[in-house]
Amino acid sequence: MISQSTSDKRKDLLTAALQLFVQYGFHGTPTSKIAKQAGVANGTLFHYYKTKEDLIVSLYIDIKTRMGEYIETKVPAGKKAKQMFKEQFTHVLLWSLENKDEFYFIQQFHTSPFAALLSPEEIKKQLSKSCHQIEEAIMEKAIKNRDVDFILTLLTSHTFGLNQYLAKTKLTKEQQLKTINDSFEMLWTMIS
Amino acid sequence: MISQSTSDKRKDLLTAALQLFVQYGFHGTPTSKIAKQAGVANGTLFHYYKTKEDLIVSLYIDIKTRMGEYIETKVPAGKKAKQMFKEQFTHVLLWSLENKDEFYFIQQFHTSPFAALLSPEEIKKQLSKSCHQIEEAIMEKAIKNRDVDFILTLLTSHTFGLNQYLAKTKLTKEQQLKTINDSFEMLWTMIS
DNA sequence: TTGTAGATTGACTAATCACTCTACAAAGAT
DNA sequence: ATCTTTGTAGAGTGATTAGTCAATCTACAA
């Protein structure tokens, strides 16, 4: 219960599921294959996750949490608006490049009927922080005075778009950083 | 062969498939349900489409073609770069609001393993026109001198993003148009 | 040592699915 | 009129799937 230094099947199942979902899609991946890839028996999967749906949603929450924690360690609070948005933007993209499967999965999940299974609280929890930052930036007149949701959508889609570009374009680390930088300045020009 | 004024089962099947795919996802929708909803027998579906995959890809191409045709009728060539991009942007968004299911399906399709089934020619055909317009705009110095693919990605993601916002936010027709306008001006500020 | 609670297994099941097959109807074409 | 092609139906098939279950194992507390 306390720790699993030798094996954490829960985690193994999520890892296996991620890899297979990204490759074959949700319904193209049978639970039997997930279990096999994770090195556990068929029934064990259902011991940890009541249903396949449960596994999918759990995986989504797990990834989102991990990304959130990563960003939190990298971006200290208390900076000026532009600097804060810039660091956040940059680190999300760096994370996405280091975790391509994870990032792709999030996109896949969002445009699937499973997205509807997320509890409203879960959604709120994920967005509240970003919304708050945007609200503050608007009050400081650092960014345009528009509907918070509108700004957030532009920010998010810009991020996903750039990720797609970086993922399919072969660039050196240096070029990638330059593109991210450039891209943020363009984004900032747009919303400020 | 020439026309089906009384019934076009091919079309009926696509219509039924679209509605069900959007609601339940690709694999969440059995071919039997598609056939039933289209008002034809199970086997008839496979007379028109060799496989379910074939049906999915055909539906995607059909939607893309219809959208392309719509834009073409609405946006005359030979205008200045900004005006042309603006009209194109606006009409894509208006179309997306009138054809929510279709637009959502395209997104769903893009982030699914089925996207890999598109032939390279099909992909090229879809992108070539936009790429060409961007190249010209760069040469005219109407927009920033960046990789064409980079610009295209920003444009596309901005469009999808705004669509998502408009789809989930209840606005009057007038407010929608205002938002589209505003959004384009922001986009143009960014890339010019 | 024994009791107990959770972990693990894999064979099993009931349902479902994509797709086939055969029969038949409609409509030209010769 | 007969042949041929094409459309349509829907029962049937073999494979696959999510999820179950009874049996065993493990760890550890009493």
Asked if B190 is an interface residue toward chain A (Cβ–Cβ < 8 A), one would say yes
A96 and A160 within one domain: yes
Nucleotides of D under 7 A from a protein CB: 6-12, 16-22
Selected residue of B150, B175, B188, B189 to mutate for chain A interface (largest A Cβ count, 10 A): B150
Convert the pLDDT of each residue in B103-113 to its tens digit: 999 999 999 99
- Assigned domain for A5 exists: yes
Contact A12, A45 (CB under 8 A): no
Domain stops at, among B34, B49, B64: B49
Contact B187, B88 (CB under 8 A): no
What is the structure's pLDDT at B75? Answer: 83
B135: CATH: 1.10.357.10
Convert the pLDDT of each residue in A31-81 to its tens digit: 999 999 999 999 999 999 999 999 999 999 999 999 999 999 998 877 899
- Assigned domain for A54 exists: no
B32 and B61 within one domain: no
Coil vs helix vs strand at A34: helix
A7: CATH: 1.10.10.60
Convert the pLDDT of each residue in A84-116 to its tens digit: 999 999 999 999 999 999 999 999 999 999 999
The separation, in Å, between residue B75 CA and nucleotide D6 C1' comes to 40
**Quick one: pLDDT band at residue B78, thresholds 50, 70, 90?**
confident
User: Which nucleotide has its C1' atom closest to residue A44's CA?
Assistant: C8
**Which structural domain range is residue B28 located in?**
1-49
Enter the tokens of residue A82: 């532009």
Domain count, chain A: 2
- Give φ, ψ of A99 to 5 degrees: -135, 60
A177 and A84 within one domain: yes
B44 and B66 within one domain: no
B80 and B33 within one domain: no
- Please state whether strand C lies within 7 Å of residue A41 at its CB atom: yes
- Please state whether strand C lies within 7 Å of residue B119 at its CB atom: no
Those residues with Cβ within 8 angstroms of residue B26's Cβ, 6 or more apart along the chain or in another chain: A25, A27, B56, B108, B112, B114
Convert the pLDDT of each residue in B149-164 to its tens digit: 999 999 999 999 999 9
A66 and A29 within one domain: no
Coil vs helix vs strand at B71: helix
Number of H helices, E strands in chain B: 9, 0
Coil vs helix vs strand at A59: helix
B131 and B119 within one domain: yes
- Assigned domain for A67 exists: yes
What is the structure's pLDDT at A78? Answer: 79
Enter the tokens of residue B94: 């208006």
Coil vs helix vs strand at A111: coil
B177 and B106 within one domain: yes
A104 and A30 within one domain: no
Are B27 and A24 an interchain contact pair (Cβ–Cβ within 8 Å)?
Answer: no
Those residues with Cβ within 8 angstroms of residue A89's Cβ, 6 or more apart along the chain or in another chain: A155, A159, A180, A184, A187
Enter the tokens of residue B36: 């039933």
A176 and A119 within one domain: yes
